[in-house]
Structure 1
């Protein structure tokens, strides 16, 4: 059994509307030092077969979990 975490973020240069909204809200609340906010997603799941887990999770990301045209991802397997 493997514990998997996939971190998905927009690629640099892709407009992050949610990130801009978070940054604006932080500034509005007085945290004016916050900048370049980016919003991503974290997907966690258990994988029954840990054999070849990295390749299998990469295939999952490329097929479903991330839009690789505009998003990048990072995989953690424990």
Structure 2
């Protein structure tokens, strides 16, 4: 069974207040980066999963996101899945 690498990005939904993003924006302003208007802070998760096919891996990763990795009340997620080459294992 081949391995697949999923790169998952989890971000707060646009209407959810992002205090960490505001703090980063303010810090950038303090450093002189006055052109920064908005910062949103999220997380990147990488998961390697064994699956029979890429669609099966994508189904599994979507379920992981929906059940644990993202709080869908306040967060949204996006992911990309690619087969891991034998040389990279």
- Same fold judged by TM-score > 0.5? yes
Within 5 Å, which residues of 2 pair with 1:3-22?
Answer: 3-22=5-24
- 8 Å contact 2:50–2:57 — kept in the other structure? no
Whole-angstrom distance in 2 between the partners of 1:32 and 1:50: 50
In the TM superposition, what is the alpha-carbon distance from 1:6 to its structure 2 partner? Answer: 0.5
Higher Cα radius of gyration: 2
Structure 2: tracts of 5 or more residues without a match: 83-89
TM-score of the pair, normalised by structure 1: 0.96
- 8 Å contact 2:18–2:41 — kept in the other structure? yes
Aligned residue pairs, count = 78
Whole-angstrom distance in 1 between the partners of 2:38 and 2:51: 38
Structure 1: tracts of 5 or more residues without a match: none
Runs (4+) of structure 1 moved beyond 4 Å? Answer: none
